[in-house]
Chains A and B, each alone.
Chain A
């Protein structure tokens, strides 16, 4: 895993438009617009991004958004509280999908 996820690769994020510069440019414009303060504050958006990063298990994003949360003065307790929202959501999503499992069980068992 370490061979695939190298810390310094985060620095390559700015080059993701390589081989498709127009789409890359559009992505970064969209990213910039979505992340800047709007109705939600930069702090709220940083916490959302951090939780998405951990639930999606992206080491680059976890690194970037933990730092961003620290930079914005978000406390470790606030970050952990937000992570529990993510954890509760992921747990709920898993359990909600047991509906399919239970339906199949009920259909197939005698």
Chain B
């Protein structure tokens, strides 16, 4: 494949701030979705220790980072998640939890909707496709219907309703070896279809390009789609998206406290480098906020078309 990402970027990519403190609590999940870049699943044992969680809280207490973004794996499966969410909420920041949605219906986990509601947590649910067959192929049998039920329950608590402060966002990931379409068009389609076919509502749709890493990369290789997919990403390179990539304002904390420029670099084992602290124990805001970002060819995934981030498009 040519050219490389480094060839396409005229100068090193630099962070500009830390606006989002993203905490990955571990890779354990009750699902094993085919597009998962984390390779998360029921057999993964990596899990953040309480000591690292406390270090994260101390950093957040002493620095006015505006957004806390909790992810995994399935965050709900972490044994200290309830305590951690309550502590994060007490800091009065924007607080998001990325959930697979299905777990909110599982025995022993039903009360998480109460926890999220009580702490004004923004809930981000993965709903890759409006076609039940496509979503189930991607995430497992019966997942689509469970997601509709979970969204129903969230709606009943006020999530995703026009007159409520409780935010429910959905995530679309392509169900194959192609890039996501325009977020505006897909959001309109999701809004109309979910309301009229399933009677549920939400706030925003985030369209996220599948990263050619983890389980999704395995899928691309096995189906002989890898080269073509990478070519599509490279050909869709957009300098405007490069200027707004999420790593410029995000810091990703792994389960073991290591720091990364993004969740994708975390999965590739590319920690923060170029001299900035690479573990929560050595956190230094000034150094991290202006660090040089570690890049690779997977970064084409965030710069293709209108760009992609954990918040969806970046350069519409």
Q: Roughly how many angstroms separate A105 CA and B49 CA in the complex, as a whole number? A: 88
Contact of B131 among A37, A43, A68, A75 (CB under 8 A): A75
For chain A, residues 72 to 88, give those with C-beta under 8 angstroms from any C-beta of chain B. Answer: 72-73, 75
Point out the residues of chain A lying under 8 angstroms from B129, CB to CB: 73
- B interface bracket (residues with beta carbon within 8 Å of A): 20 to 34
Q: Given A11-B235, A70-B174, are A37 and B181 also a contact pair (CB < 8 Å)?
A: no
Contact between A37 and B185 (Cβ–Cβ < 8 Å)? yes
Q: In whole Å, how far is B81's beta carbon from the nearest beta carbon of chain A? A: 32
For chain B, residues 168 to 186, give those with C-beta under 8 angstroms from any C-beta of chain A. Answer: 172, 174-176, 178-182, 185-186
Q: Of all chain B residues, which has the CB nearest A43?
A: B185
Beyond the given pairs A11-B235, A72-B182, A75-B131, 10 more chain A to chain B contacts, judged by CB atoms under 8 angstroms and listed by A's residue number, are A42-B185, A70-B174, A70-B178, A71-B179, A72-B181, A72-B189, A73-B129, A73-B130, A73-B172, A73-B190
Q: Roughly how many angstroms separate A72 CA and B129 CA in the complex, as a whole number? A: 10
Point out the residues of chain B lying under 8 angstroms from A8, CB to CB: 231
For chain A, residues 6 to 31, give those with C-beta under 8 angstroms from any C-beta of chain B. Answer: 7-8, 11
Query: Counting CB contacts under 8 A, is A99 at the interface?
Result: no
Query: Counting CB contacts under 8 A, is A98 at the interface?
Result: no
Query: Counting CB contacts under 8 A, is A56 at the interface?
Result: no
Q: Of all chain A residues, which has the CB nearest B232?
A: A67
Q: Roughly how many angstroms separate A37 CA and B174 CA in the complex, as a whole number? A: 21
Contact between B189 and A43 (Cβ–Cβ < 8 Å)? yes
Point out the residues of chain B lying under 8 angstroms from A71, CB to CB: 174, 178-181
Q: Roughly how many angstroms separate A7 CA and B235 CA in the complex, as a whole number? A: 14
Q: Roughly how many angstroms separate A67 CA and B174 CA in the complex, as a whole number? A: 11
Give the most central of B129, B174, B185, B232: most A CB within 10 Å: B185
Contact of B182 among A7, A42, A70 (CB under 8 A): A42
Q: In whole Å, how far is A43's beta carbon from the nearest beta carbon of chain B? A: 7
Query: Counting CB contacts under 8 A, is A39 at the interface?
Result: no
Query: Counting CB contacts under 8 A, is A41 at the interface?
Result: yes
Contact between B181 and A68 (Cβ–Cβ < 8 Å)? yes
Point out the residues of chain B lying under 8 angstroms from A75, CB to CB: 131, 134
CB-defined A-B contacts under 8 Å, sample of 17:
A7-B228, A8-B231, A37-B185, A67-B178, A67-B232, A70-B175, A70-B176, A70-B178, A71-B181, A72-B186, A72-B189, A73-B129, A73-B130, A73-B131, A73-B181, A73-B186, A75-B134
Q: In whole Å, how far is A41's beta carbon from the nearest beta carbon of chain B? A: 7
Q: Of all chain A residues, which has the CB nearest B175?
A: A70
Point out the residues of chain A lying under 8 angstroms from B178, CB to CB: 67, 70-71
Point out the residues of chain A lying under 8 angstroms from B176, CB to CB: 70
Nearest 10 A/B pairs, CB to CB: A71-B181, A72-B181, A42-B185, A67-B178, A70-B178, A75-B131, A71-B178, A73-B186, A73-B189, A71-B179
Q: Of all chain A residues, which has the CB nearest B172?
A: A73
Point out the residues of chain B lying under 8 angstroms from A67, CB to CB: 178-179, 232
For chain B, residues 149 to 198, give those with C-beta under 8 angstroms from any C-beta of chain A. Answer: 172, 174-176, 178-182, 185-186, 188-190
Give the most central of A7, A8, A72: most B CB within 10 Å: A72
Q: Roughly how many angstroms separate A41 CA and B228 CA in the complex, as a whole number? A: 28
Give the most central of A37, A42, A73: most B CB within 10 Å: A73
Point out the residues of chain A lying under 8 angstroms from B174, CB to CB: 70-71
Q: Roughly how many angstroms separate A67 CA and B180 CA in the complex, as a whole number? A: 9
Contact of B185 among A11, A41, A70 (CB under 8 A): A41
Q: Of all chain A residues, which has the CB nearest B128?
A: A73
Q: In whole Å, how far is B180's beta carbon from the nearest beta carbon of chain A? A: 6
Give the most central of A42, A68, A71: most B CB within 10 Å: A71
Interface string of B13-34 (1 = CB under 8 A from A): 0000000000000000000000
Point out the residues of chain A lying under 8 angstroms from B189, CB to CB: 43, 72-73
